[in-house]
Amino acid sequence: MQVVKKFPDFSFEESFWRQGIGTVVGVDEVGRGSLAGPVVAGAVFIKTPASKEAILKLGIDDSKRLSAGKRRALAKIIPKYFNSAIGQASVEEIDTLGIVRATGRAMRRAIIRIMNSELGIMNGKSYFIIIDGYKMKHLPGGLRRQLNIIKGDQKSVSIAAASIMAKVYRDRLMANLSKQFPVYKWGRNKGYGTKLHIKALGKYGCCVLHRSVFRLPVPFGFE
């Protein structure tokens, strides 16, 4: 029997809309497992629920399940239907705080940015935050106004859209940084621990954009 791929939908968002909560912010991160570069978070919310049927036809999905070309194409379309913001935490913050706390900082920055800049959400408007796999401290509204959803980027369109915006932003950033450090091929591997990246680390060592928390011994034979 052929398995039909299930795309994210608006089930979570609709449950909050029915409660009179007008703004549901989806949040996701990318780059947590990378050996180099910042961790980046995206935050989005739909401009008007009336456009949800048109959005569902776009094929928005978890960024990891899409080709690079499809992600880039969707990243151009998503702003037509969603307000969005990006937050990031630097390599220095990752090394100082650890990857979990730094990821939280990137998410908070994205959330606060979208709340401050888009429609004055923080100014008395009703909102809720849905996050892929996290519960975040130190957010406006605290834990009462957020829901962490395991594999949320495969269930919620808003979280999936946030993952796409964050992924495309970070991929472009790593491609640009690769021009400064071409031996690591970040334009291809985006800083992740591919065989070629590990081999380059064995030959050239780390640079200032590698995360110290991941500076593991290089196996013999990589030279």
For the chain, the structural domain boundaries read 11-178
Report whether 28 belongs to an annotated binding site.
Answer: yes
Q: How many CB atoms are located within 10 Å of the residue 80 CB?
A: 11
| Bigger pLDDT: 74 vs 142 | 74
- In this prediction, what percent of the chain has a pLDDT beyond 90? 76
13 is in an annotated binding site: no
Residue 132 labelled as part of a binding site: yes
Q: Which CATH number fits domain 11-178: 3.30.70.20, 4.10.320.10, 3.40.1280.10, 3.30.420.10?
A: 3.30.420.10
The pLDDT value given to residue 51 = 96
Tell me the average pLDDT across 192-199.
Answer: 93
Q: What is the mean pLDDT of the chain?
A: 88
According to the model, what pLDDT value does residue 6 have? 84
pTM for the model: 0.90
Strands 127-132 and 146-149: parallel
Pairing of strands 82-89, 23-30: unpaired
pLDDT, tens digit (0-9, with 9 covering 90-100), for 68-77: 999 999 999 9
C-alpha 8/C-alpha 29 separation (Å) is: 17
Q: What is the rounded average pLDDT of the residues 78-103?
A: 96
